[in-house]
Amino acid sequence: MFEDGSQPLEGQVAVVTGASRGIGRGAALALAAAGARVYVTGRSAEASIADAPGTLQDTLDQIEGGGGQCIVVPCDHAVDDQVAEAFGYILDDSERIDILVNAAWGGFEGITDQDHPWGAPFWQQPVYRWDAMFDSGVRTYFTASRWVAPRMIEQKSGLIVMLSYWAAQKYISNVPYGVAKAATDKMVQDMAHELRHHRVAVVSLYPGLVRTERMQTATQIFQMRNSESPEFTGRAIVALASDPDLLEKSGEFHVVAQLAQEYGFTDIDGNQPRPATIETS
């Protein structure tokens, strides 16, 4: 993608929450490579948190090293005052916001917690995991979207992306996670309904098994066959943002690997991951 030097998002502005690592960083890298000016937010500005390496400074260095444009805006999305300050700065600094990628998500911090296994039944799940999924997950998606929607409405254009997963529709080993993702998909449907006549699209994206920093430490739990790079999801977002018929996809969930087949892009290693389905995920 973009081997020909094209930049389909040149002149556009993107905001990626939770861009210190994982899919957030992958999305920021792909959007910058496509020519967008990217604002990146997250808690880890210059120091990694204990169980997940990666910082906003690392993301900035990678983007600028590739010739892209990146602005770092440190923010803990679980703290309302920090969210208000961060988005206030972004809205003042930029004349437009074309793309919001909601990737800041809590609840994975204890994924290798031996006292509270990820796949334990709900009556053995810690309440902190439920709280993190909603307070630092679903709620962060809502608040970030709430901040950018008025600007997109003024522009009469925009794309809001929320990362979700098949757990929204099928039991996949963890009740708090599944309920939180179902809430995410419902939020996408309802926001899309309210924004459609403003020509602003809202979509859920279902990545496959992504080789994030945390997942790399949990290979004993997850089989990494047919896994995807974090940038693969970013390439899907670039493709959606470049689609003149984007509004037709608003309010729906889309599987990243299926979008790759539809739009004709590959992963960064040239592979074409097989789309997960509700039967095989």
What is the token pair recorded at 246? 């984007």
The C-alpha R_g of the chain, in whole angstroms, comes to 17
Q: Which residue has the tokens 């896994």?
A: 227
Identify the active-site residue in 39, 165, 177, 206.
177
What is the token pair recorded at 203? 């979509």
What residues form DSSP beta bridges with 71?
Answer: 39
CA distance 258 to 260: 5
263 is catalytic: no
Cα–Cα–Cα angle for 15, 17, 18, nearest 5°?
Answer: 145
Q: Which residue has the tokens 């939020």?
A: 187
Q: How many CB atoms lie within 10 A of CB 80?
A: 11
What is the token pair recorded at 173? 């080993």
Are the C-beta atoms of 279 and 231 separated by less than 8 Å? no
Catalytic positions, please? 177
